Amino acid sequence: MKDELSLRHPPSLARVTVHSPAAQRKFAILAGFVALHGLALQFCIQTSGEAHQAALERVRKLNREHFLNGTKEEDKLPQEQLPSEWAPNPWASASLFATISLHVFFHLLCHWKVGFRAFTLFQPARKVREGFYVQVTPLPHRGRPALVPLTFCETTLRLTFIFQRQHYECLDPGEGGTDPDEEVGEVRLTPCPVNEPLAQYLEATGLGNDDAEHLKTRFGDNLLEVELPTFFQCYKEQLLSPLVIFQIFVALIWAADDFFNYTLMQMLFILTMESTSVFQRLKTMKMLNSMGTKSYGIMVYRGGCWVEKSTSDLVPGDLIELVTVG
């Protein structure tokens, strides 16, 4: 996009652009769908009863033909069931169904395609500010793109975001060793203090409790595990997949032709199969977490004294006690 701000980024990412929420664009899209629904509903109201009248005329015409031809009762075909007296004509029903389907499909596209969501519900930003969003596109075969919010970190006084469980921070031109002549800022992984002079590590005296809290806010927990979603979160994600949506759509079309029993059985089958897949997925995630290293207690020099902390609470700069076994 021409006016969007593209930030410089690490080689592990393909593209990082900045977007701001577009309230006016959201309102315009909502107003457009409301107008479409209103027109379709008005069409249905204006043609209310036409389907019943048309079916009644067909029945009368068929009865006249049977009377003129002298058709016996046992040779007559069963008459079609008359629609409701309030039913609109087929074109009105189709227009209402089309507008509702289009509205649902729009929200599904926003869920499936990050680029479509950014294009329709956001607008390109020329500055990096708190409350804005960054669209992060990874390299091919490195995961899916995401639209993540920018938050302000009180420890570093910089804007940060989390993508694929990694912490990134935004730097202005000339900040943190970046080129001051560049017009745009840079995105980088939150760096750990591993390039300091050796004397600084040898003279380290540990961290204070406040410093440790700030560093934990910046780096997060010292833990590597698969994030385990709840059953309903995973179930929702499963039901919103394109294949399941297509199956539900086909089942609803059968319901429109009065095959309600078939539709109910199909929906029950879909929900049961997807719940089984969710249980299997959660079971696999739990198994992966159980294979990792569990947190354990360790002696850490914090606040001027040795205290026992969990390894998940360790932050860069901590002094720990290593005990030999045997």
Instruction: Give yes or no for a contact between 148 and 162, defined as CB atoms under 8 angstroms apart.
Output: yes
How far apart, in Å, do the first and last CA atoms of the chain sit?
63
Q: Which of 272, 252, 273, 271 is nearest to 262 (CA)?
A: 252
Instruction: Give yes or no for a contact between 231 and 278, defined as CB atoms under 8 angstroms apart.
Output: yes
- Count CB-CB contacts under 10 A for residue 150: 20
- pLDDT value for 53: 81
Q: Which of 290, 326, 289, 297 is nearest to 313 (CA)?
A: 297
CA distance linking residue 76 with residue 98, whole number of Å:
37
Amino acid identity, position 10 = P
- pLDDT value for 179: 61
- pLDDT value for 234: 92
Q: Which of 276, 265, 258, 283 is nearest to 81 (CA)?
A: 258
- Count CB-CB contacts under 10 A for residue 46: 11
Low-confidence spans in the chain with pLDDT less than 70? 1-4, 66-67, 71-80, 174, 176-183, 325-326
Instruction: Give yes or no for a contact between 274 and 244, defined as CB atoms under 8 angstroms apart.
Output: yes
3-state secondary structure labels for all residues of the chain = CCCCEECECCCCEEEEEEEEECHHHHHHHHHHHHHHHHHHHHHHHHCCCHHHHHHHHHHHHHHHHHHHHCCCHHHCCCCCCCCCCCCCCHHHHHHHHHHHHHHHHHHHHHHHCHHHHHHHHEEECCCCCCCCEEEEEECCCCCCCEEEECEEECCCCEEEEEECCEEEEEECCCCCCCCCCCCCCEEEECCCCCCCCHHHHHCCCCECHHHHHHHHHHHCCCCCCCCCCCHHHHHHHHHCCHHHHHHHHHHHHHHHCCCHHHHHHHHHHHHHHHHHHHHHHHHHHHHHHHHCCCCCEEEEEECCEEEEEEHHHCCCCCEECCCCCC
pLDDT digits (tens, 9 = 90+) for 111-129: 999 999 999 999 998 888 8
CA distance linking residue 48 with residue 54, whole number of Å:
11
